Structure 1
């Protein structure tokens, strides 16, 4: 009698059902993490580089390094 009260465990297509759930979860986690990285790291980094290069003067930077003695081929004057 007690065996009839307990439902049988689902054995057929168990892996397929679980796989759908886990694939959907993995897809959502990967898309979320990619979006967080893009908007949390990549976009601010691009803005910072763009802001830096708006006012960057390579000749001034070269002259500063030359005066500091960084280059061996260009002695400081």
Structure 2
């Protein structure tokens, strides 16, 4: 090979080689993003909902809304 000649670029199998690399990177990033969302957002949110409904008192909430006049068909106590 003389100084003025360049090496031929690889053409055979180039698409398959690049696809393998790009798919590996894409699946790795997708898995990382999914795991990050699950453990960073979904699990804490489920825990917050569980804690909220553990101490939620539906009758107390109903009485507060009734006293505030939210319901048209339910009169406040004492009327």
SS in 2 for 1:63: helix
**Shift in Å at residue 75 of structure 1?**
2.4
Listed as ranges, the gaps of 5+ residues in structure 2 are: none
1:35-70 Cα shifts (integer Å, max 9, x gaps): 000000001001101111111110110110111011
Structure 2 residue aligned with 1:12: 12
Question: Relative to total residues, which structure has the larger helix share, 1 or 2?
Answer: 1
What number of residue pairs does the alignment pair up?
75
TM, length-normalised to structure 2:
0.88
2:76 aligned with 1:76, yes or no?
A: yes
Report the TM-score when normalising by structure 1: 0.90
Report the equivalent of 1:49.
49
Deviation at 1:76, TM superposition (A): 2.2
| Structure 1: 5+ residue stretches without partners | none
Could you list the runs of 4 or more consecutive aligned residues of structure 1 that deviate by over 3 angstroms after TM superposition?
A: none
Q: CA RMSD in A?
A: 1.0
1:66 match: 66
